[in-house]
Structure formats: C-alpha cells, structure tokens
Amino acid sequence: MQAPTAGRFPYAETLATYRASGKHFVARNVTARLDGLRDNWQRIEGAEVDRRRLDDFLFVALDKVDGRYDYASYCALPVLGLDRMTAPGLTRREVLCQRDAAQLALLGDLAGFELDALEGTAEILPEKRPAPDLARRRLRLVLAALRPTLERESIVLRNAGPEGDARSVADHARARVSKAWRHRLDASMIPVHVVHDEYLFLRVLQSFEVTFAWIATVLQEAVSALPTAPARAVERLKLANVLLREALRLFPLIGSLQPAAFHDFRRFTEGASAIQSTGYKRVEALCSAPGAERLNSVAYRSVPQVQEEVRAGVPSLSAALETLRDDRASEPDDLALLDAEMTEFARQLGRWRQAHFELARRYLGERGGTGYTEGVPYLAETRQIPVFRSSPPGSS
C-alpha cells in the first residue's frame, strides 16, 4: 500500500465538507479519518513545506475534537502562518509592503465573498445573508479599511460604485497573491457554523492579528534600539503608529455584523476569545511590563507564551525609557521625539480599546465573553490600564 503524500492531501474536498456543516457539526467519521492520518504521521511522505502545511491544517481542523479549541485555532492563525509571517530588520517600506500584501489578500477575499453573495453565486455559509443595502455598505467599508493599502499598492479605483470598485479590488487581490497565500486564504476559512456573517468576522479578526503581529515586531525593535539609537526607536514608533491607526479602520467593518447572525454562530465559539490574542498581549507587554496581579490573571494565563516571556524579563519601552532618562548624555531632542510618538501610540491604543469595548457592549450586552471571561466588564476594566507606566520622556 502506497504511503500518503502530504502534497496530495484533498484540501478542497475536506474544506467543502467542513463548510457544509460548520466545524462544530462536522461528522465524526470525517474527523476520525483526519485523526487517523495524524496518528500515522511518520508514514506521510512529501516535502517539508507540504508536511508543515498539512500539520498546521490538521491542528486547526481537529481543535474541537482534541478539546483545545481557542482563539488562535478558531482564526486558523497557524494555517495563515502568522508565527512566521513577520521578520525583524526590515525597512519601513518593506514592513508596510508585507503587511499590505496580507491585508489585501484577506480583505480582497472578503470583498469577493460579499460580492458573490450579493450576486447570488456564493455557495457557502448560506444562512442569514445580508440585505442588498447592507451588503453594499459592507463593500464600502472594506474599501475604506483598505484605502491606505490601495494607495501604497498604486491600485486606482474608478468610482464605479461599491460593487464595481470592490470587484476591482477583489480581482487585484487574486492577481497579486502568491500561490502560497492562495492556499492560506482558502485553508484558513473554517467557520464553526453556516451563517454568512462569520466569513466577515473571521477575515477581520485575521486582519487584526496580522497587524498586531507586525506592531509587536516593530515595538521590539524600538525597545532594542532605545539605549543606543533613540532616533531608530523613534522611527520604529512612527511605523507602529501608522499600523495601529490603520487597524482602527477595521472597526466600522466588523460593526456591520448583523446581531442575530453574530449570536447564531457565537453559540459555537465557546472557548475562543480575543483575550487569547498573543499579538495584542505582546504589544501590551512591550509597552510596559504588566504588574503581578495582571500577569497572573486570566488575561495572561490565556497567553502562556507571552506570560513566560514577561517572567523571563523581556524588556519594555517603559523600562528602556527609564534607563535612557537616567543617562545624562541623552539629547533633549531625542526625548521630545520619543515623547511625541509614545504619547500618540498610547492615544491610538486607547482608541482601539474603546472601540473594542463599544463593539462588545453593542453585541454582547450583559452576556459573558466566550473565553470564560466576564466579557464587557472585563473590557471596561482593561481600558484603564496605562499603556506606558513611566512619566513622559521629556518631563524629567
């Protein structure tokens, strides 16, 4: 009997089966076959890249079966390759180019799905389709969220209305994504149910996570640069501010979810919550090391990798800044520039927290969170956490 080959795994057929019912309801005989494949992993042949791709897919597809379903597996972040998507040492242009490629791929794909649904050709997630007016508003919101990316990518829209412009963006996205990204896009759409709006929900969450992964990378570089190259730290902070400001454009789009549709698929997402976002927590910890109470709270227990990094003493901007301030050789101009960028970053992150809180309050009300948290009360409390725990750089 010929050994299975990773490169020949039937992704299309498997994804079609999952999407026909939603991951929560996929038949046991289907997951049993996948589980059996994983049990015989040593027999699977193929190139390392194909084996890694299949391993990531099985990790996400079998999360509920394994009893380890969480935010990362719900968003299929391993399939997207988020853990290896960023790289240090890139120029501002290179960072934006790579992040824009991911943003265009994810939101361009979303635009294509919404257009297909509007035109009656979408085959998956058929329940609770949005009315035409809402669908067109979503297309405008996708275009608004993508505007900075479109400008940098020199994609000129022809003012052909929301449908015409969105079709142009979707076509550009399909033409520009690599073969690897096409696979990531397809294999990362594994909803838990069959409600139309979950497609939008997943793509927006994935877009947030890509951006926060890049912000964390850039902030880490700022921390490393602060002691000896404050000008480099300022440049990295400026870039972090650009990324965070553009991430805020996603909130109106996710705010177009239909409440009834959201609550329909949310019933099957228990155990997955944004509180488990490694990217967001890493950004928070890079700004200021959390106090003992927060570090030992559910917020950081939900991201054990970041919790361990903090306990190991990963430096933060606040700590590096204190060291720089104590250095009498520090240039006042450097401190003033750092002050401006850190103040702006704190303001933007405050806006992000407030928008997240308002969104949760609108859709959840008094309901608890899906990550075994208190939901809205938790977000109301965390809005008050200082972004930086030191006084403004220029105040000493």
Kindly write down the DSSP assignment for every residue of 61-111, as one continuous string: HTHHHHT---HHHHTTHHHHTGGGT--TT--HHHHHHHHHHHHHHHHHHHH
Q: Using the predicted structure, report yes or no on whether residue 330 has a pLDDT greater than 70.
A: no
Phi, psi of 223 (to 5 degrees): -60, -45
**Region 270-293 average pLDDT:** 93
Query: Which tens digit of pLDDT belongs to each residue from 116-165?
Result: 999 999 999 999 999 999 999 999 999 999 999 999 999 999 888 999 99
Q: Using the predicted structure, report yes or no on whether residue 394 has a pLDDT greater than 50.
A: no
Confidence of residue 325 (pLDDT cuts 50, 70, 90): confident
Q: In this predicted structure, what is the pLDDT of residue 378?
A: 82
Phi, psi of 195 (to 5 degrees): -90, 130
Residue 338 in tokens: 């750092």
Q: Using the predicted structure, report yes or no on whether residue 18 has a pLDDT greater than 70.
A: yes
Q: Using the predicted structure, report yes or no on whether residue 319 has a pLDDT greater than 50.
A: yes
Q: For residue 392, give the 3-state DSSP assignment.
A: coil
**Region 260-282 average pLDDT:** 94
Q: Using the predicted structure, report yes or no on whether residue 392 has a pLDDT greater than 50.
A: no
The alpha-helical segments, DSSP class H, found in 248-276 are 250-254, 259-266
Q: Average per-residue pLDDT in the chain?
A: 92
| End-to-end Cα separation, the chain, in angstroms | 74
Query: Which tens digit of pLDDT belongs to each residue from 45-56?
Result: 999 999 999 999
Sign of dihedral through CA atoms 172, 174, 179, 185? positive
Confidence of residue 1 (pLDDT cuts 50, 70, 90): very low
Q: In this predicted structure, what is the pLDDT of residue 255?
A: 97
Q: Using the predicted structure, report yes or no on whether residue 4 has a pLDDT greater than 90.
A: no
Q: Using the predicted structure, report yes or no on whether residue 69 has a pLDDT greater than 60.
A: yes
Q: In this predicted structure, what is the pLDDT of residue 384?
A: 85
Q: In this predicted structure, what is the pLDDT of residue 7?
A: 92
Query: Which tens digit of pLDDT belongs to each residue from 336-364?
Result: 899 899 999 999 999 999 999 999 999 98
Amino acid at 82: L
Q: Using the predicted structure, report yes or no on whether residue 115 has a pLDDT greater than 60.
A: yes
Q: What percent of the chain has pLDDT over 90?
A: 80
